[in-house]
């Protein structure tokens, strides 16, 4: 294409990935009239009329795993499957498993639907002196909530028998003695009502949400941001395109991207080469970082910062199961969860805990609940180039026996259990379960963040240092955490601000 022809057609962009950040970038680029191609490695997952789009907790078939030989949430009880482009990929690093979404909608397909805004103190603990929380709170968190369609659990749904677990959690919290915070969720509650009435397949109303929700009750970005982007007429989404190389364009400023168009067996159908003036990376923290780590090591983007790959963390996550409980939580736990508490009085800093509904089979659902504890920690890992394979490895050198995160989270878990369960005449009434080998504790995270950290490898505007017109808009931008909450809303808000600043400069 000649320079004159290119100028007449206008600017172009490529977005790699279609999760929260990629969806924001696609929509705002499309609205600005910039011809944009979105490369997504996974397939589309439209909600089917027969209610069988996604795998379920009780039947984690091949749709639950991204080209893996087994499927399931925890490290135990996984089901053998044939490799397939399913919705969840587990990166088995040295010291940490990091779980990432795959498909049009990325991580939003598999996230827990929690959309929490961090407290200012917690945010600035992670982004010291950095990212203007007040601006985010004033403009970008509300914008993100508006598009994602977030809201609290309605009273009529909370009163349903499926939601006795949420009501019992409030009783437990009252015994502990902390006022709960009632948070919002990216959920279409009318579809949940349809589930409860038997007019739609159960999913959200039974806590079965980790592989997607067959009723369509989860407001993933393939239901809001991405359709709006496509309606602009300037955005094309290309599923099953696995990007493996990025480099500078030689003739004029811009980038060349190479991707494999793959089939359901991950065979290469053909190699696709595309170029654009602007490149936005949104492949998820591990894969965005890996693309840049490889580009630096292989010489296709040699001016990248040596800090690319640093600062990877699990968002302070510590997953526990509480067992043999005093209060009945019901054989079915309606989801996605309910009510967060924040304990300020723990040694070493605050700790938070939230109830997460789980699709335990009856009667286990009455006797056990799942919770995410989060604490501040400086423990971080790296994503490193492996010259023997040409790939990357996640290294997280913080074993449980020396981990500050584990020590603080376990102290809180034990204190909470003692105050709410054990002291009521039943001293051996179960203990919190957080064994790493079972996939609990801090050994695995759905919230892997960092690798292209703001203020280090990228600017606070999301620009990757060393190159013009190259941006990160996903969780790789964060320093391994966002501040004691699930990161989805913060990633969306930060991406909205990055796109505002990018378009403002243009």
Residue closest to 327 by CA, chosen among 152, 162, 173, 156: 173
Place 1 in a pLDDT band, splitting at 50, 70 and 90: very low
Does residue 323 carry a pLDDT above 90?
Answer: no
Report whether 26 contacts 36 (CB < 8 A): yes
How far apart are the C-alpha atoms of 387 and 375, rounded to whole Å? 35
Domains and CATH numbers, the chain: 11-45+87-149+219-314+443-505 (3.50.50.60), 152-186+317-375+399-441 (3.30.410.10)
Report whether 475 contacts 493 (CB < 8 A): no
Task: Give bridge partners of residue 243 from the DSSP assignment.
Answer: 259
Place 151 in a pLDDT band, splitting at 50, 70 and 90: very high
Give the rounded percent of residues in the chain with a pLDDT score beyond 70. 94
Task: Give bridge partners of residue 238 from the DSSP assignment.
Answer: 39
Report whether 75 contacts 438 (CB < 8 A): yes
pLDDT at 129: 63
Residues in Cβ contact with 188 at an 8 Å cutoff, skipping those fewer than 6 apart: 149, 216, 217, 218, 219
pLDDT at 365: 64
Question: What is the pTM for the complete model shown?
Answer: 0.95
How far apart are the C-alpha atoms of 93 and 396, rounded to whole Å? 7
Half-sphere exposure of 121 (CA within 13 A, CB side): 7
φ and ψ of 493, to 5 deg: -65, -45
Higher pLDDT, 1 or 116: 116
How far apart are the C-alpha atoms of 321 and 317, rounded to whole Å? 13
How long a stretch of residues is the chain?
A: 506
In degrees to the nearest 10, what's the CA dihedral of 400, 403, 409, 414?
60
Higher pLDDT, 365 or 99: 99
Give the pLDDT confidence of 391-421 residue by residue, as tens digits. 999 999 998 889 999 999 999 999 998 888 7
DSSP class of residue 424 equals T
DSSP secondary structure string, 128-170? TT-S-HHHIIIIIHHHHHHHHT-BPPPHHHHTSGGGHHHHHHH
According to DSSP, the β-strands at 35-39 and 235-238 are parallel
φ and ψ of 302, to 5 deg: -70, -15
pLDDT at 8: 45
Summarize the confidence of residues 82-97 as an average pLDDT.
94
pLDDT averaged over every residue in the chain: 92
Half-sphere exposure of 379 (CA within 13 A, CB side): 25
Helices (H), 383-506: 404-417, 488-505
Buried b (16+ CB within 10 A) or exposed e, 195-231: bbeeebbbbbbbbbbbbbbbbbbbbbbbbbbbebbbe
Residues in Cβ contact with 34 at an 8 Å cutoff, skipping those fewer than 6 apart: 10, 11, 12, 13, 234, 278
> What is the enclosing helix (H) or strand (E) of 37?
strand 35-39
Q: How many CB atoms lie within 10 A of CB 251?
A: 9
How far apart are the C-alpha atoms of 249 and 470, rounded to whole Å? 12
Does residue 377 carry a pLDDT above 60?
Answer: yes
Residue closest to 290 by CA, chosen among 89, 124, 123, 141: 89
Q: Is 287 left (phi over 0), alpha (psi -120 to 50) or beta?
A: alpha
pLDDT at 142: 98
Give the pLDDT confidence of 6-24 residue by residue, as tens digits. 444 799 999 999 999 999 9
Q: Which two tokens stand for residue 450?
A: 């960092």
């Amino acid at each position: 294409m000649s320079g004159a022809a290119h100028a007449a057609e206008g600017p172009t962009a490529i977005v790699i990935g279609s999760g929260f950040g990629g969806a924001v970038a696609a929509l705002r680029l499309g609205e600005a009239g910039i011809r944009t191609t979105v490369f997504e490695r996974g397939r589309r997952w439209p909600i089917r009329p027969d209610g069988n789009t996604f795998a379920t907790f009780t039947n984690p078939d091949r749709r639950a795993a991204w080209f893996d030989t087994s499927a399931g949430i925890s490290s135990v009880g996984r089901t053998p499957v044939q490799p397939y482009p399913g919705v969840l990929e587990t990166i088995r690093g040295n010291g940490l498993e990091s779980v990432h979404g795959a498909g049009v909608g990325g991580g939003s397909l598999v996230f827990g639907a929690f959309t929490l805004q961090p407290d200012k103190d917690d945010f600035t603990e992670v982004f010291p002196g950095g990212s203007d929380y007040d601006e985010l709170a004033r403009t970008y968190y509300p914008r993100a909530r508006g598009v994602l369609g977030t809201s609290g659990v309605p009273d009529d749904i909370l009163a349903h028998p499926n939601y006795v677990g949420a009501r019992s959690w409030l009783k437990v919290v009252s015994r502990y003695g902390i006022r709960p915070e009632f948070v919002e969720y990216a959920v279409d509650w009318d579809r949940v009502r349809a589930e409860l009435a038997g007019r739609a397949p159960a999913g959200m109303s039974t806590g079965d949400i980790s592989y997607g929700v067959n009723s369509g009750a989860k407001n993933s970005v393939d239901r809001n941001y991405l359709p709006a982007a496509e309606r602009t007429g300037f955005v094309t989404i290309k599923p099953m395109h696995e990007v493996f190389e990025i480099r500078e364009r030689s003739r004029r400023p811009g980038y060349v991207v190479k991707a494999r168009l793959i089939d359901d067996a991950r065979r290469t159908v053909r190699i696709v080469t595309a170029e654009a003036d602007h490149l936005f990376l949104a492949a998820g923290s591990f894969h965005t970082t890996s693309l840049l780590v490889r580009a630096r090591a292989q010489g296709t983007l040699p001016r990248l910062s040596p800090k690319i790959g640093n600062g990877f963390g699990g968002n302070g996550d510590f997953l526990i199961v509480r067992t043999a409980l005093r209060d009945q939580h019901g054989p079915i736990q309606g989801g996605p969860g309910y009510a967060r508490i924040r304990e300020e009085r723990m040694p070493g800093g605050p700790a938070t805990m939230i109830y997460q509904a789980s699709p335990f089979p009856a009667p286990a659902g009455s006797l056990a609940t799942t919770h995410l504890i989060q604490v501040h920690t400086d423990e971080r890992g790296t994503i490193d180039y492996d010259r023997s394979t040409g790939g990357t490895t996640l290294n997280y050198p913080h074993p449980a026996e020396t981990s500050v995160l584990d020590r603080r989270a376990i102290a809180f878990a034990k204190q909470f259990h003692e105050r709410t369960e054990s002291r009521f005449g039943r001293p051996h009434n179960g203990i919190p379960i957080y064994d790493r080998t079972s996939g609990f504790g801090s050994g695995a995270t759905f919230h892997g963040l960092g690798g292209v950290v703001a203020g280090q490898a990228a600017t606070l505007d999301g620009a990757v240092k060393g190159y013009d017109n190259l941006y990160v808009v996903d969780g790789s931008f964060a320093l391994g955490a966002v501040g004691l909450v699930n990161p989805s809303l913060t990633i969306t808000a930060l991406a909205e601000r990055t796109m505002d600043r990018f378009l403002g400069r243009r």
